[in-house]
Amino acid sequence: MYIYTMHAMPGCKAKFEGDTSVKYRVRRKDTSAPANHKSRTDVIRTDLGYTEAAVMVQRFNDKERDSHSLKN
3-35 per-position pLDDT tens digit: 999 999 999 888 888 899 999 999 999 887 666
* Res 69: pLDDT: 81
Q: Are 13 and 30 in contact (CB under 8 A)?
A: no
32-55 per-position pLDDT tens digit: 766 667 778 899 999 999 999 999
Question: What residues have CB less than 8 Å from 56, skipping those under 6 apart?
Answer: 4, 6, 26, 44, 45, 48
pTM equals: 0.81
φ, ψ of residue 36 to 5 degrees: the values are -85, -5
